[in-house]
Amino acid sequence: LEFPTDFVHDLEGFSQDDEGAALTGTVGAYEIQRRVGRGGMGEVYLAHDRTFGNLVALKVLYDAALREAQHARLCSGHPHIVTMYDVFEGRLGDRMRTVLVMEYIAGKPASRLVEDDPPPLRDAVRWARHAAAAIAHAHDRGVLHCDLKPANILITPEDGQRSWISASGAPRSSG
- 65 CB neighbour count, 10 Å cutoff: 22
Q: Is the dihedral of CA 55, 154, 123, 118 positive or negative?
A: negative
In whole angstroms, give the CA distance from residue 33 to residue 58.
Answer: 10
E strand or H helix that includes residue 144: strand 143-144
Q: Which of 18, 116, 147, 159 is catalytic?
A: 147
Catalytic residue flag (residue 147): yes
Cα separation, 163 vs 175, in Å, equals 27
Catalytic positions, written as ranges: 147
